[in-house]
Amino acid sequence: MTRILYFIIIVSFLDTFIQLPIITPYALDLGASHLLTGGIVAIYSLTNMVGNIFGGHWIDQFGRKKMLFTGMASVAIILIFYPLAQTGWQLFLIRFLHGLAGGVLIPAAFAYVGDQSKKSTRGKSMALTGASIGTAAIIGPALGGAMAARSKADYVFLFVSILFVICSILILKFVKESYAATDRGKFNVTEFIPLLKHPLVIQASLAAFALMISNGTLAFALPLKVEEMDMTSATTGILLSIYGIIALIVFLTPMNRMFDKFSPITLVVLGISFIGFVHIMLNFVTSFGISVALMIIYGFGFAFVFPSMNRIVTDASSIVERGKAYGIFYAFFSLGSVAGSFVSGATSEIFGLPFLLSAITMLSIAVILLFISRKTIHQY
| Nearest residue to 313 via CA among 333, 291, 336 | 333
What pLDDT does residue 169 have?
Answer: 95
Taking the CA atoms of 230, 236, 241 and 243 in sequence, report the sign of the dihedral they define: positive
What pLDDT does residue 121 have?
Answer: 76
Indicate if the pLDDT at residue 318 is higher than 80: yes
What is the arithmetic mean of pLDDT over 25-50?
86
Architecture of 190-380 per CATH?
Answer: Up-down Bundle (1.20)
Structure confidence at residue 189 as a pLDDT band (50, 70, 90): low
Structure confidence at residue 380 as a pLDDT band (50, 70, 90): very low
What is the arithmetic mean of pLDDT over 274-289?
91
What is the arithmetic mean of pLDDT over 20-42?
84
Q: Determine the Cα–Cα distance for residues 99 and 167; give it in Å rounded to an integer.
A: 18
Structure confidence at residue 255 as a pLDDT band (50, 70, 90): very high
Q: Determine the Cα–Cα distance for residues 167 and 4; give it in Å rounded to an integer.
A: 8
Structure confidence at residue 1 as a pLDDT band (50, 70, 90): low
Indicate if the pLDDT at residue 344 is higher than 60: yes
What pLDDT does residue 316 have?
Answer: 87
Q: What is the pLDDT of residues 350-374, one digit of tens each?
A: 777 778 888 898 999 999 999 888 8
Return the minimum-mean-pLDDT range out of 36-50, 79-93, 140-154: 140-154
What pLDDT does residue 178 have?
Answer: 72
User: At residue 156, what is the residue type?
Assistant: V
| Nearest residue to 13 via CA among 164, 221, 215 | 164
Indicate if the pLDDT at residue 96 is higher than 70: yes
What pLDDT does residue 47 have?
Answer: 92
CB 151 within 8 A of CB 29: no
Q: Determine the Cα–Cα distance for residues 38 and 36; give it in Å rounded to an integer.
A: 5
| Nearest residue to 152 via CA among 219, 85, 92 | 85
Q: Note if the pTM is more than 0.75.
A: yes
What pLDDT does residue 188 have?
Answer: 60
Structure confidence at residue 171 as a pLDDT band (50, 70, 90): very high
Q: Tell me the C-alpha to C-alpha distance, in Å, between residue 146 and each of 19, 140, 142, 264, 372.
A: 11, 10, 6, 38, 45
What pLDDT does residue 335 have?
Answer: 86
Residues 6+ apart with CB under 8 A from 312: 200, 201, 203, 204, 207, 264, 265, 268
- The two domains 1-175 and 190-380 share their CATH topology (first three levels equal): yes
Q: What is the pLDDT of residues 230-245, one digit of tens each?
A: 887 667 778 877 888 8
Q: Which of 183-187, 200-204, 282-286 tops mean pLDDT?
A: 200-204
Domain ranges of the chain: 1-175, 190-380
What pLDDT does residue 243 have?
Answer: 84
DSSP secondary structure, 302-320, as one string: HHHHHHHHHHHHHHHS-TT
Q: Is 190 left (phi over 0), alpha (psi -120 to 50) or beta?
A: alpha
Q: Tell me the C-alpha to C-alpha distance, in Å, between residue 224 and each of 3, 9, 311.
A: 39, 31, 35
Is the CATH number of domain 1-175 3.40.50.720? Answer: no
Q: Determine the Cα–Cα distance for residues 316 and 311; give it in Å rounded to an integer.
A: 8
Indicate if the pLDDT at residue 111 is higher than 70: yes
Indicate if the pLDDT at residue 190 is higher than 80: no
Q: Determine the Cα–Cα distance for residues 129 and 107; give it in Å rounded to an integer.
A: 12
CB 325 within 8 A of CB 201: yes
What is the arithmetic mean of pLDDT over 262-277?
94
What is the arithmetic mean of pLDDT over 11-36?
86
What is the chain's length? 380
What is the arithmetic mean of pLDDT over 169-186?
73
Q: Determine the Cα–Cα distance for residues 69 and 308; give it in Å rounded to an integer.
A: 27
Burial of 186 (0-12, 13-18, 19+ CB in 10 A): exposed
Mean pLDDT (the chain, rounded): 86
